[in-house]
Amino acid sequence: MAPKRNRQQQEEEQPDPEVQAEEEDPPAPAEDNDDDDDDEEDNGNAEQRKKNRKKRSRAVARRKGYRYIANRAGYSATLPSADASRDVTSNLLSISETVRACRWTPRLPNAVTYGGDMDEYKRRMKLSTESLPPKAAAVIRGNAEVFARRIMDEAVQRSFDAGKTRVSANTMMSVLRPLQPVLDFSFVAPMGLIRHAQTTIVGAEGKQAPALAFGPDDDAQMKAEAAWIPKQEAFAKQVSKRQADKRAERAAKIKAKKDGDNAAAAPPQAKKTRARA
């Protein structure tokens, strides 16, 4: 049992309320070495957010522009149409685009183009050198506009029915396949691109493989296509020479006409008269 303490000892032990105990200094906070990293990260996030906002604004503006052009061309969300491909209120294709499409031709004669079909290659090369006046191009545009709209409408409808948001190459191929017998030119994937993918090795070390696998008949077909490349190059040289000759002849005619006009516009020279003796 603890001994009893007297009153004086208890008063001495009680702390004086007027005298406050000295408070210990709080520990100094550790230096934050990650402040600079946090600032850089915030700046990076701000720049990324700015880029994202700019990207979204561009996408919205692009959609609005497409919607405006489609509305002018006859695709209306409020007015029903029995056949939108023929309700052409404004052309989507320009005259220059029509001319470029009509005069398109492969630019690399030393690569496979149409799987060895020289007939299509020659016809396309000849068409690329023919002149196409704007009025003639307008007639072609009138038919190409309806054809392109019909194909795209069908492709978009099939993609929408399949729950897709974009038109894929497979969907477009399924739309064009029934028309292949009645079209003059082919519309399949370019053979040059396919051969390039089949002969290009991709992948990490130890897992390298061609970008596109070979089919069972591709080796024999590639050998047959290689025999057509010299013929394509020879025909391309002939076409280029013919074009150069036409340009030179046209330049000579223009120069001759210009010289004749300058001679006709020049003042007549005064004839010298002999003085009579």
Give per-residue pLDDT as tens, 35-81.
555 565 666 688 888 889 999 999 999 989 988 888 888 887 777 77
Can you tell me which residue has the tokens 């079909």?
117
Beta strands 201-202 and 209-210, pairing class: antiparallel
Strand partners for 209 = 202
DSSP three-state, residue 5: coil
Evaluate whether 46 touches 62 at the Cβ level (below 8 Å): no
What's the pLDDT score for residue 1?
A: 47
Evaluate whether 155 touches 172 at the Cβ level (below 8 Å): yes
CA–CA dist 261, 266 (Å, integer):
9
Give per-residue pLDDT as tens, 139-158.
999 999 999 999 999 999 99
What's the pLDDT score for residue 18?
A: 47
What's the pLDDT score for residue 17?
A: 47
pLDDT tens, residue order, the chain (277 aa): 445 455 555 555 555 544 444 445 555 555 555 555 556 566 668 888 888 999 999 999 998 998 888 888 888 777 777 777 888 888 888 999 999 988 888 777 887 877 667 888 888 888 888 889 999 999 999 999 999 999 999 999 999 999 998 998 889 989 988 888 888 887 776 777 788 888 888 888 888 888 888 878 888 888 887 888 888 888 888 888 888 888 898 888 888 888 777 777 767 665 555 545 4
Strand partners for 202 = 209
CA–CA dist 177, 181 (Å, integer):
8
What's the pLDDT score for residue 40?
A: 59
Can you tell me which residue has the tokens 């296509």?
225
CA–CA dist 128, 103 (Å, integer):
4
Q: Hey, what are 46's tokens?
A: 């701000």
What's the pLDDT score for residue 95?
A: 93
What's the pLDDT score for residue 41?
A: 63
What's the pLDDT score for residue 46?
A: 83
